[in-house]
């Protein structure tokens, strides 16, 4: 089934690129149905396919150009219909010249992806406040998730944020998974946790696995991992970071932090009902789960706050709207049967070094007494 889907996607992309080259050439009056022009278009499709393999941003550029050329054609059709009697007027001739230049989709693509390249390197804090009658003191929790270290984002971007995060004086730091991934080398993986080991908080830094950290997709993608699961664990723990994999720990006198194994793991994970066995449910219960799932089950078990990531808030416009409509929860703060769910868009993106939807963030949560 997966192979058929991939073949279908490749055929759709090739067809779209073939159409795009034809539309572009036709704007300049080139007869696209001649056999030599058809061969030229096929060659262009193959060249773009090769570039997509060598530099994945080529795919994003091509998809934007196809979508924008289509929208430009729809707009041109409407204007031609509405402006039939205005063809000799200056505004119509100007529109016609701009349309036939074929530069509108190119300019918009450059602006969008330029903005996306800036956004992927601009990490900002997002703040939430939760009041509860389970605590008597104030607590500050910081969530960092989805770094995909040294694959999408320049490594120095994270390094330059460590002092800023420490300046918040957090009580607890949660690393919500996908800190590293299949494209991360062993050296970069070790560097990532060395950098994150510089985070300072009252009760320490805790980590849960995401769907990429252990390079579970490397077998399908390239057949080789750059580091073992044991090497990953050693790098995390040697930097003073505690791994929570289907277990909980007390935090201070009033909090409990539980960490889930990722739902996609090949070995499966413990059922939610066993996660908080023997935990004091009179404390404020926080669950860290990379993917925003099982929140209602957690609520029934007494969880007060769930911290998740994974979705990247769509990352590439307009994907976020579709994930919000069909895969909710997607991003932000949700209330589910007494449990608060916070889904972060992540510190970086995935797949492409650009973000045209949402923001790169770390999350600051203040837990305060309910007055």
What is the residue-wise DSSP string for 272-302?
HHHHTTT--TTSEEEEE-SS---HHHHHHHT
CATH of the domain at 327: 3.60.21.10
Residues 79 and 220 grouped into a single domain: no
Distances (CA, A) of 359 to 142, 209, 295, 315, 319: 17, 22, 24, 8, 14
Q: Which contiguous run of DSSP H or E holds residue 174? A: strand 172-175
> Are 224 and 302 in the same domain?
yes
Same structural domain, 93 and 174: no
Residues 78 and 182 in one domain: no
Question: How far is CA 363 from each of CA 13, 72, 236, 335, rounded to the nearest angstrom?
Answer: 37, 39, 21, 17
Domain-ending residue, one of 118, 135, 170:
118
* Most confident by average pLDDT, 92-101, 117-126, 155-164: 117-126
296: Cβ contacts below 8 Å, ≥ 6 apart: 336, 337, 339
Question: Do 238 and 335 share a domain, yes or no?
Answer: yes
Q: Show the domain range for 56.
A: 2-118
Query: Number of structural domains, the chain?
Result: 2
Q: Which residues pair with 130 in a beta bridge?
A: 367
Domain ends where: 74, 90, 118?
118
Own/partner contacts of 214-221, CB < 8 Å, gap of 24 or more, are: 214/265, 215/181, 215/182, 216/264, 216/265, 216/266, 217/182, 218/182, 221/182
Binned at pLDDT 50, 70 and 90, residue 223 comes out as: low
pLDDT at 102 over 70: yes
For position 11, what pLDDT does the model report? 85
Q: What is the mean pLDDT of the chain?
A: 90
pLDDT of 337 over the 80 cut: yes
Q: How far apart are CA 208 and CA 215, in angstroms?
A: 14
Give the pLDDT band of residue 284 (cuts 50, 70, 90).
Answer: very high
- The helix/strand/coil state of 360 is strand
Name residue 306's beta-bridge partners.
287, 341
Which tens digits make up the pLDDT trace of 15-31? Answer: 988 888 988 888 888 88
pLDDT band at 1 (very low <50, low <70, confident <90, very high): low
Regarding whether 157 and 108 lie in a shared domain, the answer is no
Last residue of a domain, one of 118, 133, 155: 118
């Amino acid at each position: 089934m997966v192979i058929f889907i991939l073949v279908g996607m490749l055929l759709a992309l090739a067809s779209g690129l073939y159409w795009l080259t034809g539309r572009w050439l036709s704007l300049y009056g080139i007869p696209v149905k001649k056999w030599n022009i058809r061969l030229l278009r096929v060659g262009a499709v193959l060249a773009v396919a090769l570039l997509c393999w060598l530099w994945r941003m080529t795919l994003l550029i091509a998809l934007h150009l196809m979508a924008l050329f289509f929208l430009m054609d729809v707009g041109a059709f409407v204007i031609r219909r509405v402006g039939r009697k205005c063809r000799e007027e200056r505004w119509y001739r100007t529109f016609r010249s701009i349309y036939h230049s074929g530069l509108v989709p190119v300019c918009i693509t450059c602006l969008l992806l330029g903005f996306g390249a800036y956004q992927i390197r601009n990490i900002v804090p997002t703040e939430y406040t939760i009041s509860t009658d389970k605590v008597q003191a104030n607590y500050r929790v910081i969530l960092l998730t989805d770094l995909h270290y040294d694959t999408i984002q320049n490594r120095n971007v994270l390094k330059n944020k460590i002092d800023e995060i420490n300046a918040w004086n957090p009580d607890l730091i949660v690393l919500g998974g996908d800190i590293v991934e299949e494209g991360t080398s062993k050296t970069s993986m070790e560097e990532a946790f060395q950098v994150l080991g510089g985070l300072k908080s009252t009760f320490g830094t805790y980590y849960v696995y995401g769907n990429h950290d252990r390079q579970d997709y490397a077998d399908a993608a390239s057949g080789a991992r750059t580091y073992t699961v044991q090497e990953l664990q050693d790098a995390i723990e040697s930097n003073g970071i505690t791994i929570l994999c289907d277990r909980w720990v007390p935090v201070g006198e009033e909090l409990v932090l539980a960490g889930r194994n990722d739902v996609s793991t090949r070995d499966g994970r413990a059922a939610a009902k066993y996660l908080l066995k023997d935990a004091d449910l009179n404390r404020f219960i926080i669950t860290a789960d990379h993917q925003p799932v099982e929140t209602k089950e957690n609520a029934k078990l007494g969880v007060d706050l769930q911290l998740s990531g994974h979705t990247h808030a769509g990352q590439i416009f307009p994907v976020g709207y579709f994930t919000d409509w069909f895969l909710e929860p997607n991003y932000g703060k949700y209330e589910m049967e007494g449990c608060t769910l916070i889904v972060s868009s992540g510190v970086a993106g995935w797949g492409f070094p650009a973000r045209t939807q949402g923001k790169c963030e770390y999350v600051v949560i203040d837990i305060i007494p309910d007055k």
